[in-house]
């Protein structure tokens, strides 16, 4: 379980810099004190989470906020990779998408994505989603 010194982080994975900035601003606006770590795509995020020859793995605990529609490796492919990795498979992943299509929502839930958030929704709904994520990371007890 987490100890007092372990601070939860948000890992924001999105190929769009503007969308990453919107998430950063929303988290600041709601008063989140969590560290925000960013990756531009699923491949970069896997290197960040697993570590590489040049860096150690990102210390847990963290919550992943994942764009589902990205080049190189989309969010569903990223989640498949995470599920197959024994050191990452229990990482909570929340999906962000511009799609409101039922098939995309069903695919996300079938792939055990913790929640599906539509990016292009109303600002108020997006802020509620960011508040929910911040509350989630504050009250959830996660093994590290």
Q: Helix, strand, coil: what percent of the chain each, to 5?
A: 40, 20, 40
% of the chain with per-residue pLDDT over 90: 74
Q: What is the pLDDT of residues 4-54, one digit of tens each?
A: 447 889 999 999 999 999 999 999 999 999 999 999 999 999 999 999 888
CATH class label, 9-139 = alpha beta
Q: What is the pLDDT of residues 94-128, one digit of tens each?
A: 999 989 999 999 999 999 999 999 887 677 888 99
Neighbours of 55 (CB within 10 A): 10
- Cα dihedral angle (82, 39, 142, 111), rounded to 10 degrees? -40
User: Per-domain residue ranges for the chain?
Assistant: 9-139
Euclidean distance between CA atoms 24 and 77, whole angstroms: 24
Q: What is the predicted pLDDT for the residue at 125?
A: 86
Euclidean distance between CA atoms 16 and 29, whole angstroms: 20
Q: What is the average pLDDT score of the chain?
A: 90
- Residue 96 pairs in a beta bridge with 67, 117
């Amino acid at each position: 379980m987490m100890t007092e010194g372990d601070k939860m982080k948000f890992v924001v994975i999105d190929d769009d810099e503007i969308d990453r900035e919107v998430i950063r601003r929303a988290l600041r606006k709601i008063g989140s004190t969590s560290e925000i770590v960013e990756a531009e795509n699923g491949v970069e995020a896997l290197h960040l989470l697993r570590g590489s020859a040049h860096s150690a793995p990102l210390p847990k605990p963290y919550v992943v906020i994942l764009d589902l529609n990205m080049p190189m490796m989309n969010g569903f492919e990223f989640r498949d990779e995470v599920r197959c990795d024994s050191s990452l498979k229990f990482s909570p992943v929340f999906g962000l998408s511009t799609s409101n299509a039922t098939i995309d929502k069903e695919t996300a839930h079938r792939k055990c994505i913790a929640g599906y958030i539509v990016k292009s929704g109303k600002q108020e709904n997006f802020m509620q989603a960011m508040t929910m994520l911040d509350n989630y990371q504050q009250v959830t007890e996660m093994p590290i």
